[in-house]
Amino acid sequence: MNYRHSFHAGNSADVVKHSLLIALVRALQIKEGALTLIDTHAGCGLYDLHGDAAQRTGEAAQGVLRAFADANPLLDDYRAAVRAVNVGAEPLLYPGSPQILAQLLRQQDLLILNEKHHEDVHALRSAMRGTSAAVHERDAYELWLAMVPPRTPRGVVVVDPPYEQTDERERITATLAAAHRKWAHGVTVIWYPLKDRATHGRWKDQLRKRGIPKFLGVEHWLYDADQPGLYNGAGLFIVNPPYAFTQALPPLLEALRAALAPEGHRGEITTEWLTG
């Protein structure tokens, strides 16, 4: 499956991913200690919702535009992050994870971004001009292992690959296990698309066998039953989520489910502790 950011900017998966990412980082920032935020697959950083790639799929209509049409105040932080890169009421640009993480930085925090596609790195550096982000052009999994543990006492690694390679899940599983051995208390967020429940279930079983404690799965299924051959939703694996984040999660997930449910479907967002 090829999930390049530019084709899917602002879709339902982005709304859930970025809403939870904001909530997670803010929960960690309750403590004053510095954070290092690391994005291994940063993409371009900023996306034109009226550009050719985004218009080809039109997925923002079922994602960010639905979130903007919804009145639930639990989505206010997400909407504010999108408005920060736009002028006017309608979102014409969409901030990727690098832009959203940059907005969350405190003076003591660090932001490290990585993208291996050369054209995307050029766009990323342009999008992040004026911020304190360090931008790398390296293999994502090599950088992930090289950057942990970070210099600051705490940190978050965001892993958001396009799933272009057939062995992407295997590389994530192996690198996560190796990174956890180096940095057992670190927070890791792994995004993934959901095509069908059976395939995803097999991957979860592989991850469970790694024995990593405090391993939370959040799954957003758009439809009431799998739609064969279609994108059915997306989810996040979160290692070592902070207590303040998990306690605030249920009402936020319900707000997201209600805002993003397709016509004729209720949809579902579930949480499950894989271990711990």
Q: Does domain 5-275 have CATH number 3.40.50.150?
A: yes
Residue 1 confidence (pLDDT): 44
User: Which pLDDT value is given to residue 55?
Assistant: 85
How far apart CA 178 and CA 210 sit, in angstroms, is 10
Q: What is the pLDDT of residue 228?
A: 62
DSSP 80-111: HHHHTT-SSSS--EEE-HHHHHHHH--TT-EE
Residues with Cβ within 8 Å of residue 230, at least 6 apart in sequence: 195
- Sequence-distant (≥ 6) Cβ neighbours of residue 186 within 8 angstroms: 148, 149, 150, 154, 155, 156, 157, 179, 180, 239, 240
Domains of the chain by residue range: 5-275
Active site residue 120: no
| Contact predicate 155/34, CB 8 Å | no
- Give the integer Cα–Cα distance in Å for 81 and 21: 11
**pLDDT given at position 2:** 46
> Which of 76, 160, 224, 226 is the catalytic position?
160
Per-residue confidence of the chain (276 residues) as pLDDT tens digits?
445 677 789 999 999 999 999 999 999 999 999 999 999 999 999 999 998 888 887 899 999 999 999 999 999 999 999 999 999 888 999 999 999 999 999 999 999 999 999 999 999 999 999 999 999 999 999 999 999 999 999 999 999 998 888 999 999 999 999 999 999 999 999 999 998 788 889 999 999 999 899 999 999 999 887 666 557 899 999 999 999 999 999 999 999 999 999 988 999 999 999 986
**What is the per-residue burial (b if ≥16 Cβ within 10 Å, else e) of 156-180?**
bbbbbbbbeeeebbebbbebbeebb
Question: Which tokens go with 37?
Answer: 């935020």
Provide the β-strand partners of residue 237: 190, 217
